[in-house]
Structure formats: C-alpha cells, structure tokens
Structure 1
Amino acid sequence: MSASGDLFAAGTPAPLAERLRPHRVDEVVGQQHLLGPGKVLRMAVERKQLHSMILWGPPGVGKTTLARLLAESSGLPFIAISAVLGGVKDIREAVEQARIQGQAVVFVDEVHRFNKAQQDAFLPHVESGLFVFIGATTENPSFEVNAALLSRARVHVLQSLSEDEQRQLLARGAQAMRVALDGPSGDALLAWADGDARRLLNAVEAVAQGGEPITPELVLQVLGSRQRRFDKGGDSFYDQLSAFHKSVRGSDPDAAIYWLVRMLDGGADGKVLSRRMLAIAAEDVGLADPRALQLTVAAAETFERLGSPEGELALAEAALYLAVAPKSNAGYLALKAARALVEADGARPVPLHLRNAPTKLMKQLGAGAEYRYAHDEPDAFAAGQRYLPEGLEAQRFYEPNERGLEAKIAEKLRRLRESNAQAGVG
C-alpha cells in the first residue's frame, strides 16, 4: 500500500510515462465521454462530489491517473492498494489511514484479483462513507466484482484512445525526448503500441535513448515485432470471438476472415476457434447446408494434426465456407422448443403402437400391434400414423426455412403433412 506521493527515489529518473502523467483533469488525453463538459466525472470534479466507482477499461488508458486526479481535485488523500501484491493487511491499513485522515479515496488497482472475502472487507466502510472507493479493472465487473460491492459503486467504462488522441501523446513524448517522430516512424510506434498509452510512451523513450535518427527500421530493431493487446482469457478475446461469430452468421466472409486472423495473430488457440465454428455450423447453418458441419469437422481435425501455422488455412477455409453458406437456425429453434415443452410437460406415455414388444406378454398387451412399417408403405411413408404422445399430435418443433437444402426439406414436409391431413391426421 502506498499513499499519494513520489513513486521514485530522489535522483532516480522516472520513466517517460510517469513524467508525462497529467497533473490536472484538463490535461487528460481521451475519455471525453466521462470528462467532457457536462459529463459525469467532470461534474463530480466541479462539484467536489466524488462517488465510489469502478473504472473498467483496457490497459494503458489512464485508470490509475484518472483515479489520482479525481482524488486531488476533490481535496481528498489518495491511498493506493495493488490487488496483485496486497491482501487483507493492506486493506486494514487503508481503513486505519482513512480514519486518521478523516476521509480519503482508496484506490484498488486490478480489483478483480481480490477474492470475495477481500472485496467484502470494503463494504462497511464504503457504506459508512469512511472513504470513497475507486477500483480499476481490465475485466468485466459483472463477472469479477462482487454484486454487493458493485451495487455500491458506479461503473464507468474507459475507452481505448483514438488515433488522434494517441498522436497527441506521441507529440508530447517526442517533445519531452527532443526527437522528431513524424511520418512512418510515428506510425510504426503507434502500430507497436496498439492503443496502449503507457506502452506508447515507453516505446518513445526506448527508441529515443540511443540518439540515432528514428526510422521504422530502428523501431523494429529496438522494440521487436509488433505487440497487440489481446487477452486469451479475458473480455478482449470473447469480444473478438463474438464479432467473428456474428460476422459468419451475417454472411460477411471478409469480416469473418478478419476477426479469425485477429484472434490467431493475438495468440488465440486454434482449437478454441474450431470449436466455435463447429457450433456455428450446427446452430447458424444447420440443415440449410449439412456439408458445412462435415467441412468444419474436417478443418478441426486438420488443424489438430498440423497445428499452426499450416493448419490455419483449414480454419480459414471453414470460416469462409460458413460465412457464404445458406443460413438456418431451424434446428436450433426446434431443439429449444422441444426442451421447453419437455421441461414444462408431464411424462406422457409412449403410444402403444410405438412400444417395443420383445416378450409374449407385451404382444398380448398390444404393444406394437398397430404399428405400420414405413418401408412397406407407398413412398416409405405411413400416412396417418402418429408418433408423438397423445395430446401432442399437432405439435410442431421443426419449421425449415426456404434457404439452401432446407427449401427442399420444407417442400417435402408440406407434401407429407398433406398426406397426413388426407388420412385424417392434422
């Protein structure tokens, strides 16, 4: 735990990102949806009425800086706790320090790393107003922050910096380091930082220290290959996976291949992606094109054998095929409707004519007696025979659409149902 103050010993040069940390809210780059005129945090600063909150956003967008500035603008001491390194002892010390100072802002970085008991330790003090709680997290608070704590804090979503906002930071960094970062060299730094302001300023400092003219080649030489913000287990991954699924469902092959490559490039496991495509083939393509599931199974097996990067081509081909295939969720809806009925309905008996008759007694009781063998009927269809339990004869779960193979399935079902109607079955 640390109170507000210098983070580095006297005489030790602080990193550029720390030296350029804003000292006033007006100096913050980005987050104007929260800090612009009339916006919620701007009004909290102007009125000096700070509320407990969760700052949720990707790395390097200013969560810690914003929390510190909010405390300073409200005239409250700033007490910082790192959930990565801290524990219950640090929480107790923060509570005691807040009691001594009258009131304070207690800032918890990476609050999602605290367990339920640790998060619960803040509740009575937030409730009593002893301190204003500000938590910072890169993870979805709905999943990672206790409901009790979440109900006592407002969630503010911080956004990734736009390209223009990143260029503002780049200009500040270049001025501080007294270097020129225009044109391709600046573009290379922006691409390497991938929207992370802290990473951008650290990169500027790294390439400027050698005193050489900064070129894209120097950026690559000093920093290495481009880094992308991607969390294989967090919201970034699941957001991209969602975008991929919806692009395929929406029949956009270009968007589908883009999101697939974004995830593969970020280090996503191809096996996870192939499993999602198997779900798409079954749920969104369905019987409109049964070959889609077969092709996706083959792609998954190919990737299993070849791995990356060779097996990625099979995943790409499956993604493209799924995107351009005719779509039907009729199978998914049929399963959902049948499940809903089975859960709500009673255990209806199997109709007597459909029951098995392996013994003489079962035959004497009439099991299977009136069953008509479909292969012995015209067109292998026993018109008028019922297969659902009594009372559910008119039930319809599967309603194929008019796309792809399902158009032919729909036409066949219409003919069969007409035959049933002529035989006296609705």
Structure 2
Amino acid sequence: MKQTPLALRMRPVHIEEIIGQTHLVGEGKILNRMVLAERLASMILFGPPGTGKTSMAIALAKSLDIPVKKLNAVADKKKDMEIVVEEAKMMGQVVLVLDEVHRLDKAKQDFLLPHLESNLVTLIGCTTSNPYHSINPAIRSRCHLFELHPLTANDIKTAVKRAKEDNEQGFGTEDITITEEALDHFANSANGDIRSALNGLELAVSSTPSNPENQIVINLDTAEVCMQKKSFSHDKGGDAHYDVLSAFQKSIRGSDVDAALHYLARLIEAGDLESISRRMIVTAYEDIGLANPQAGPRALAAVEAAERLGFPEARIPLAVTIVELCLSPKSNTAYKALDSALSDIHNGKSGDVPAHLKDSHYQGAKTLGRGLDYQYPHNYESSWVNQQYLPDSIKYKNYYNPKNSGKFEQAIKQVYEKIQNDKNKKV
C-alpha cells in the first residue's frame, strides 16, 4: 500500500502539469516567461489553502532542473537554512521552498538576505497571509509577489480525473469508476481546495470494496461521506443557484435577517464563497451606501477574513456581517445619482468644462484664459465658495437627492441643502 498521501504523490513536476493559475503559468504569463528564459527569481506565492502554492514552487524548480530544498519557517531552524546555503555553494544554486514564510523570524531573515541578493539561494515563499501585511519589507522587497486564486470546479475535476488515470502516482492500475454526480460533488464541495478533493478521493478508493466484477464504483453517497459534506440541492452553475443568490441579496435589502441567513446557509452548503462575497460587498454599497458608509469596508473586511479562514470557520465573519447589513439603515442615493449623471452623458447632455476649471499648469494656459477666475475654496472660511462647476448647458442640474436614512446621510443632507440654498441666494 502506498503510504505517501495521494495529494503529495500527484504534485506536478513541471510547469505544464500545474492545474489552474493560468494568469501566472499560462502561455506568455510571468512564471511561464521565467521558465522559458531560465531565470527563476525569488518570489512569494500567496493565496487560500489548497491552491497549489508549494506544488507550484517545486514544479518551477524542477522545470529548470534546479536543486530544490523544502523547509518550514516555523518548524525548521536557522541551522537547517545554513545547510541549504552550504549545499547551494556546492551545487551553484538552490531553490528554497519555504512554507509559512510569513512566520520567518529576524535571525533567519538576516541570514538569508545576502544569499538572496547574490541569487545563490532562490527563495519561493508560500503563505496564506497577505504579504503586504505579514511579511517583513526587507524580504518582500527582494521578491516578486504572486497571488494564487482558488481553483475552479473544472480545475478540481481535472485533478481528480488525473489522479484516477495516473498509472504511477495515482490509481490508473485499478479499475475505478466515478459517477458524474460523485465527480461533481468532489469538485464543488472542495471549495477550490485541490488537496481536500484528492484526500476525499483517496479515502473513497481505499474504503470502497470492489464489486463482483472487481471494480470500485464511487457514487454520490460515497463522495458525500468521504468529503464530509452533503450534496446540495442546486448546481453552482445552474438557474436555481442564481435564484438563491438573488433572494440572498434581496433579503438583505429588505432587512429580513432570518431570510438572509437562510439563503447564506444554502450558499455555504453550495461552497460558493466567491458569489457570497461579491453579493455582500455590492449590497453594502448599493443598498446601504451613505446611510452607513462603514458597511462597505466592514463587509470587505469580513470577506477577507472568510477567505483567510476558509470553511467552516468562514461562516462566522459572514454571519456577523450579514446581520449588520440586514439591520442597517438603507440608502441608494449615491449610486442612483451617478446613474442619473451617466444617463445624461449617454443622451448627449454634457458640455464644455468651464474655463476657470480647465487645466492651467502649462505654458500659455493664461493666454487661453484657462483657470484665470478659479476661486480656491480653502481660501474661504467655510471651505466653500459659490462658483460654477457644471457645464453651461446643465449648470442647474441636480443629480443627488439625499434621504434621511441613518445619521451620516442626515448630516450630509444638511450640508447639501445649505450649499444649495447658498447657491440660490446668489443666483
């Protein structure tokens, strides 16, 4: 029996075997270019768990036949890094694949820096953390930063099929049938984590007895048990899924906490964090907007926390923010105002920029009358002065119509109305 986990056995050994991440390894993309040019640079690969960071790092090194050493910034000591450097001196160059690179302490970092500078050691750091927040600038400035995206369901299917058919590292020598329903479940329930899908497949193969024809048949029930997730009642790409997404957003807009949480639960079971995140962020700005301007940044923070945590813990920040979005005051005045302005542009209702607002930072601008009568608002006590900003043809146009939704918009409504009144007094 093979003791090495399937996910490790199936790691790519060449850039062409990497599944997904075509924005980095596709034809003409940056990592593909590095390999073709045989000039691998130090880099940080960051992204959610299971997106293939370590696998990609090892595949890049093997594509160029460069010796590769794998360490962990937490578990391995400075002495282990010293050994890697000595081996690099003997072999000319080594690629150091360093997991949990964001946990690199100062002593290890100071030791590595000069060897990165000389390119004796090419560092490929792997982390689930945002490198701009978690990695020391001294290391970060010496590395390219590349973000890996969650794999799609089709990517996961490709990985599962490859493992099933591979004669050397996978199950190609065994008679295995995976039903379409089971394959879909492996792909969708993995939530972009290729390791999770391959672990589930391996458990399914090893725990399913052969039938009388000496064939292992993996059906949906087996896939559900081995992935520890029930198959959900709708397909992520089907019409029913978009119906649930629509109901989710409209429930938030309608301030129905219970309905929004219900649809959130259905989307979580479908494993569609990407669509949940998108709907939360757009709702925070589209439906809540100026009534609670902090809803947008907080929704984004919750999405980032969910992406970093992954399921099942991701449900916690999502739930907190959904309750807040539901019960927040609502206002769509800002984007409606912009839509009104866009409508005018599309219908040809525009005009020339007033001369006093035109760019005057070039020789000859004054001769053309550019910016001559511009009044700088900060020179006035209230930081406001009555001057025309819109083109002549629409100078009396009003796009923004504030509401009394939430304290913030009530406050800016007062400011807006005062400015409008002052304008009218002097017209």
Smaller-chain TM-score bracket: 0.5 to 0.7
Q: CA deviation at 1:251?
A: 6.8
Query: Retained in 1: the 8 A contact 2:289–2:331?
Result: no
Q: CA deviation at 1:185?
A: 1.4
Measured in 2, the distance between the counterparts of 1:62 and 1:137 equals 11
**Are 2:326 and 1:320 aligned?**
yes
Query: Retained in 2: the 8 A contact 1:286–1:328?
Result: no
Q: Which amino acid aligns with 2:402?
A: R
Q: Which runs of 5+ in 2 are unaligned?
A: 210-216, 232-248, 274-280, 296-314, 336-379, 386-398, 405-409
Q: CA deviation at 1:415?
A: 9.3
Q: What is the aligned partner in structure 2 of residue 201 from structure 1?
A: 198
Q: Which amino acid aligns with 2:331?
A: A
Q: What is the aligned partner in structure 1 of residue 305 from structure 2?
A: none
What do residues 244-266 of structure 1 show as CA deviations (whole Å, max 9, x unaligned)? xxx89x97989x95899379969
Say if 1:58 and 1:411 are closer, same or farther in 2 by CA, change over 3 A: closer
Q: What is the aligned partner in structure 2 of residue 4 from structure 1?
A: none
Q: CA deviation at 1:81?
A: 0.9
Measured in 2, the distance between the counterparts of 1:60 and 1:144 equals 19
**Are 2:264 and 1:261 aligned?**
yes
2:78 pairs with one of 76, 79, 88: 88
Query: Retained in 2: the 8 A contact 1:401–1:410?
Result: no
What do residues 20-77 of structure 1 show as CA deviations (whole Å, max 9, x unaligned)? 2223222221122222222222222222211111112222222222221222222221
Query: Retained in 1: the 8 A contact 2:14–2:60?
Result: no
1:392 pairs with one of 362, 376, 381: 381
Q: CA deviation at 1:149?
A: 1.4
1:44 pairs with one of 34, 59, 62: 34
Say if 1:219 and 1:12 are closer, same or farther in 2 by CA, change over 3 A: closer
Query: Retained in 1: the 8 A contact 2:13–2:62?
Result: no
Per the alignment, in what secondary structure is the counterpart of residue 404 of structure 1? coil
Query: Retained in 2: the 8 A contact 1:160–1:195?
Result: yes
Q: Which runs of 5+ in 1 are unaligned?
A: 1-10, 228-246, 269-275, 293-308, 330-390
Q: What is the aligned partner in structure 1 of residue 225 from structure 2?
A: 221
Q: What is the aligned partner in structure 1 of residue 178 from structure 2?
A: 181
State TM-score, norm by structure 2: 0.58
Query: Retained in 1: the 8 A contact 2:204–2:226?
Result: yes
Measured in 1, the distance between the counterparts of 2:402 and 2:124 equals 52
Per the alignment, in what secondary structure is the counterpart of residue 122 of structure 1? helix
Measured in 1, the distance between the counterparts of 2:79 and 2:264 equals 45
Say if 1:325 and 1:50 are closer, same or farther in 2 by CA, change over 3 A: same
State TM-score, norm by structure 1: 0.58
Q: What is the alpha-carbon root mean square deviation over aligned residues?
A: 4.7
Q: Which amino acid aligns with 1:216?
A: L
Say if 1:223 and 1:70 are closer, same or farther in 2 by CA, change over 3 A: closer
Q: What is the aligned partner in structure 2 of residue 108 from structure 1?
A: 98
Measured in 1, the distance between the counterparts of 2:319 and 2:122 equals 52
Measured in 1, the distance between the counterparts of 2:329 and 2:91 equals 61
Q: What is the aligned partner in structure 2 of residue 352 from structure 1?
A: none
Measured in 1, the distance between the counterparts of 2:130 and 2:319 equals 33
Alignment of 1:48-63 (within 5 A): 48-63=38-53
1:285 pairs with one of 269, 286, 290: 290
